[in-house]
């Protein structure tokens, strides 16, 4: 048996019934509903106001029912309705962002995965403690500017889409920079970005074993980020600044990537360390998560961020990825989530995958 994440009272709304997969109509909801439907689970779309029309265009991903709320921030007011529907909330980036990590963690509705992870992910310092203590290489942090030897990135806390991040080619270029809020100064890592989609199951006792369960690699993407990209644009900074153009990292889409096969052991090692440390720190991270890092020319993978739930890059792989196809043809992250809920219920182990 693994670690219990949910109390019996939290899960009482699911007693003797098929769980309904519920999420906010945004981000990766098409994939989540499509995956649940493929596994035969009912689905509930949470929306603000009228149901979004775009679902009509995708009949295989349209939720069975909708729950309309006046404002996402008021989701707490819909808790009894969600419980009476037998809902299991599947968190995704926009869902947690709009509700707020703290408010989300307090909702008295079963949530897929360990909600304790939200506090670790939403605070950049806690996240760094977690990853560093797991032995995961990260970009160097500079408390003292005199230690800066190369390019750096200045990141504001809570900056949406990296808005206002500042890049400096060297220490001198930082001299004219005056921060307008709480921030960190980090080594700007030169290399290639990879966003690696993992899934940790505490139920599966075969495959790539980690803790009591198994670590699966379901896909990989790179984000298209407007209006900055890689080293060559760092070189053009001064001209861009003179032209009044400031770099941002607003995500506008995603492209599929794969890693050199010889680098896969490194990817798994990083994923495994993060899961193992999460088990020690807060009872474990269950379900999908994304390790976001940069592979340098020395083939060192430096992790700048982790997303502890389904990321939108997995939408590339609704009908499978070059990795998930080697587990089961056509397996998406959305379907994998529904499968985990179903299997946990069949084995009487819902408390290990829901919280
Ligand atoms: P974040 O808000 O940490 O997800 O960063 C947003 C974007 O900034 C990332 O997707 C990367 O493109 C870029 N980035 C963040 N940290 C670094 C770093 N240390 N070195 C190079 N690029 C970075």
| Contact in structure between 335 and 317 (CB atoms under 8 Å) | no
* Ligand 1 centroid, distance to 152 Cα (angstroms): 11
Q: Which two tokens stand for residue 145?
A: 């500017």
- Reduced to 3 states, what is the DSSP secondary structure of residue 90? coil
- Reduced to 3 states, what is the DSSP secondary structure of residue 299? coil
Q: What percentage of residues in the chain have a pLDDT greater than 70?
A: 95
Instruction: Give 74's DSSP letter.
Output: G
Instruction: Give 139's DSSP letter.
Output: P
Instruction: Give 176's DSSP letter.
Output: T
What digits encode the pLDDT tens for the residues 191-233?
999 999 999 999 999 999 999 999 999 999 998 765 555 545 5
| Contact in structure between 250 and 275 (CB atoms under 8 Å) | no
CA distance 254 to 219: 12
* Ligand 1 centroid, distance to 319 Cα (angstroms): 28
Q: What is the pTM of this model?
A: 0.93
186 Cβ closer than 6 Å to some ligand 1 atom:
yes
The predicted pLDDT at position 4 comes to 97
234 Cβ closer than 6 Å to some ligand 1 atom:
no
| Least trusted range by pLDDT, from 115-119, 167-171, 194-198, 204-208 | 167-171
User: Which tops the pLDDT comparison, 179 or 40?
Assistant: 40
| Least trusted range by pLDDT, from 39-53, 160-174, 190-204 | 160-174
User: Which tops the pLDDT comparison, 168 or 17?
Assistant: 17
Largest CA distance in the chain: 65
In CATH terms, the superfamily for domain 8-134+191-223+257-353 is: ATP-grasp fold, B domain (3.30.470.20)
The predicted pLDDT at position 232 comes to 56
- pLDDT mean over 17-37: 98
Q: Mean pLDDT, the chain, as a whole number?
A: 93
* Ligand 1 centroid, distance to 27 Cα (angstroms): 20
Helix, strand and coil in the chain, % to nearest 5: 40, 25, 35
249 Cβ closer than 6 Å to some ligand 1 atom:
yes
139 Cβ closer than 6 Å to some ligand 1 atom:
yes
Which residue puts its alpha carbon closest to atom 9 of ligand 1? Answer: 249
276 Cβ closer than 6 Å to some ligand 1 atom:
no
Neighbours of 41 (CB within 10 A): 21
191 Cβ closer than 6 Å to some ligand 1 atom:
no
The predicted pLDDT at position 159 comes to 64
Which residue puts its alpha carbon closest to atom 15 of ligand 1? Answer: 304
142 Cβ closer than 6 Å to some ligand 1 atom:
no
- pLDDT mean over 60-66: 98
pLDDT at 311 > cutoff 50:
yes
| Contact in structure between 157 and 185 (CB atoms under 8 Å) | no
The predicted pLDDT at position 14 comes to 98
305 Cβ closer than 6 Å to some ligand 1 atom:
yes
Kindly list the domain boundaries of the chain, sorted by start residue.
Answer: 8-134+191-223+257-353, 145-189+228-252
193 Cβ closer than 6 Å to some ligand 1 atom:
yes
Which residue puts its alpha carbon closest to atom 14 of ligand 1? Answer: 304
Residue 247's Cβ-side half-sphere holds a number of Cα atoms within 13 Å equal to: 22
Which residue puts its alpha carbon closest to atom 16 of ligand 1? Answer: 304
Q: Which two tokens stand for residue 163?
A: 């808005």
Q: Where are the alpha helices (DSSP H) in 165-304?
A: 171-174, 230-235, 237-242, 264-282
Task: Report which ligand 1 atom has the smallest distance to the Cα of 190.
Answer: 21
Ligand 1 pocket: which of 237, 304, 308 to mutate (most atoms within 8 A of CB): 304
Q: Where are the alpha helices (DSSP H) in the chain?
A: 8-11, 29-38, 79-84, 93-99, 101-106, 117-121, 124-133, 171-174, 230-235, 237-242, 264-282, 333-346
Which pLDDT band, with edges at 50, 70 and 90, does 237 fall under? low
What digits encode the pLDDT tens for the residues 142-163?
999 999 999 999 988 866 666 7
CA distance 233 to 240: 9
Q: Angle at CA 253, nearest 5°, toward 248 and 258?
A: 110
């Amino acid at each position: 048996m693994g670690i219990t994440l949910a109390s019996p009272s939290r899960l009482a709304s699911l007693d003797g019934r098929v769980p309904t997969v519920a999420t906010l109509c945004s981000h990766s909801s098409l994939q989540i509903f499509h995956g649940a439907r493929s596994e035969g689970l009912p689905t509930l779309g949470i929306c603000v106001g009228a149901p979004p029309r775009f679902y009509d265009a995708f009949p295989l991903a349209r939720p069975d029912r909708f729950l309309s709320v006046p404002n996402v921030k008021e989701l707490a007011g819909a808790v009894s309705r969600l419980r009476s529907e037998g809902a299991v909330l599947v968190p995704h980036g926009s869902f947690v962002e709009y509700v707020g990590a703290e408010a989300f963690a307090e909702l008295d509705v079963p949530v897929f995965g360990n909600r304790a992870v939200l506090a670790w992910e939403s605070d950049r310092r806690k996240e760094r403690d977690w990853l560093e203590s797991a032995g995961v290489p990260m970009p160097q942090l500079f408390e003292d500017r005199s230690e800066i030897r190369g390019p750096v990135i200045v990141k504001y806390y809570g900056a949406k889409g990296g808005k206002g991040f500042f890049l400096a080619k060297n220490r001198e270029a930082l001299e004219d920079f005056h921060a307008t809020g709480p921030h960190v100064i980090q080594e700007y890592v030169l290399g290639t970005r990879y966003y690696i989609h993992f899934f940790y199951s505490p139920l599966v006792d075969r495959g790539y074993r980690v803790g009591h369960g198994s670590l699966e690699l379901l896909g990989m993407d790179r984000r298209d980020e407007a209006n900055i990209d890689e080293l060559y644009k760092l070189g053009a900074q001064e001209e861009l600044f003179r032209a009044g153009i400031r770099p941002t990292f607003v995500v506008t889409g995603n492209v599929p990537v794969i890693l050199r096969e010889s680098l896969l052991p490194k990817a798994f090692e990083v994923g495994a360390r993060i899961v193992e440390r999460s088990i020690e720190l807060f009872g474990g991270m269950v379900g999908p998560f994304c390790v976001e890092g940069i592979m340098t020319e020395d083939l060192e993978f430096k992790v700048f961020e982790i997303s502890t739930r389904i990321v939108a890059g997995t939408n590339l792989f609704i009908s499978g990825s070059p990795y998930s196809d080697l587990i089961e043809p056509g397996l998406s992250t959305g379907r994998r989530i529904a499968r985990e809920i179903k299997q946990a219920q069949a084995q009487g182990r819902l408390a290990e995958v829901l919280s």
